[in-house]
Structure 1
Amino acid sequence: MEQSLQYSNVLYVDDELHNLNSFKACFRRDFSVFTAQTVDEALRILKEQEIHLIVTDQRMPETTGIEFLESIIKDYPDAVRMLLTGYADIDAVVDAINKGRVFKYIQKPWEEAVLRKTIQEGLELYALTRANKKLTEELEENNKQMEFLLRQSLLS
């Protein structure tokens, strides 16, 4: 499935400026890249932009990536979430999947081609989720209309 440019806003959260700059340099031609060095910056961006996919580092000074992702699920349920870390911590992987609803767990250092493909897969998932939600809403509306027409028919 070809990635639609309609859904290409990617937010990368990492406390290391070098990582943010590298990420932006690698992916700015493929996606609309937003970067944040702190969770507060990330939250501001989430409020100002429609972010489709979030990549976050696991180990940051103020919070973990999992805690950040878990904290935004309620307000940004559709954003696809990915966790990036240099540490092979199985507990973090399990928590990421269970608490943060993480789509993919990626180890640092990341390979550009692999990460690009994974981001594209995440954005395709986002597009499919949006299309599915729209179809569900249309079906619900059609069901309401059919119910109304059926009641009218029974009453007359």
Structure 2
Amino acid sequence: MSADNPVNVLYVDDEVHNLNAFKASFRLRFNIFTAESAIEGRKVLEQESIHVILCDQRMPGMTGIEFLESVIPDYPDPIRILLTGYEDITAVVDAINRGEVYKYIQKPWGDDNLRINIEKAFEIYSLRKENKELIESLLIVNKQLQFLLRQNLL
């Protein structure tokens, strides 16, 4: 989370004032991308390398859970956070089970709380990426070792 390794955050919400408030609060700390609909959100994902996705639950056309679930096959790596102004236990369960959501945060959010959760989400993103790279390296080394062992046995 430094100037040479910025966090790219996408926030999808149909309420423009929420998008503007989010951008105003966090633009100096993160690279902020906003979208007023799930369709716009998908376009951003196609064009940018996003690390953390925040999404409002109640939007016209597609709920936040539906959007987050729909992007998993094409964009499995970003960490997903669901924001909502409504308490709905069904939405919480669906978010966890279907949308593979890291956090469920109530609106209105507290800036410090949301910032901390975005930073923690990015840490998880970074650790998962590092783990993938380590596993790939180990698989390569394993193949090389198997080859060398076979050479010595012949």
- Do both proteins adopt the same fold according to a TM-score greater than 0.5, normalized to the shorter chain? yes
Number of aligned residue pairs: give it. Answer: 153
What whole-Å deviation, never above 9, does each CA across 1:119-153 have from its counterpart, x for those lacking one? 00001111111111111110011101111111111
Q: Specify the alignment match of 1:72 in structure 2.
A: 71
Q: Specify the alignment match of 1:60 in structure 2.
A: 59
Q: Specify the alignment match of 1:100 in structure 2.
A: 99
Instruction: Note if contact 1:83-1:102 (Cα within 8 Å) is conserved in structure 2.
Output: yes
Q: Specify the alignment match of 2:14 in structure 1.
A: 15
Q: Specify the alignment match of 2:137 in structure 1.
A: 138
CA distance in 2: counterparts of 1:134 and 1:41, whole angstroms: 31
Instruction: Note if contact 1:81-1:102 (Cα within 8 Å) is conserved in structure 2.
Output: yes
Q: Which amino acid aligns with 1:48?
A: Q
Q: Specify the alignment match of 1:87 in structure 2.
A: 86
Instruction: Note if contact 1:59-1:85 (Cα within 8 Å) is conserved in structure 2.
Output: yes
Q: Which amino acid aligns with 1:58?
A: Q
Instruction: Note if contact 1:7-1:123 (Cα within 8 Å) is conserved in structure 2.
Output: no
Q: Which amino acid aligns with 1:44?
A: K
CA distance in 2: counterparts of 1:71 and 1:138, whole angstroms: 30
Instruction: Note if contact 1:7-1:52 (Cα within 8 Å) is conserved in structure 2.
Output: no
Q: Specify the alignment match of 1:110 in structure 2.
A: 109
Instruction: Note if contact 2:52-2:78 (Cα within 8 Å) is conserved in structure 1.
Output: yes
- Which structure exhibits the higher relative contact order, with contacts defined as CA atoms closer than 8 Å and separated by 6 or more residues? 1
Deviation for aligned residue 1:40: 1.1
CA distance in 1: counterparts of 2:24 and 2:132, whole angstroms: 33
Aligned-residue identity in percent? 59
Report the secondary structure of 1:34's partner residue: strand
Instruction: Note if contact 2:6-2:31 (Cα within 8 Å) is conserved in structure 1.
Output: no
* Cα root mean square deviation, aligned: 0.9
Q: Which amino acid aligns with 2:8?
A: N
Q: Which amino acid aligns with 1:112?
A: D
CA distance in 2: counterparts of 1:4 and 1:100, whole angstroms: 29
Deviation for aligned residue 1:4: 4.7
TM-score (norm 1): 0.95
TM-score (norm 2): 0.97
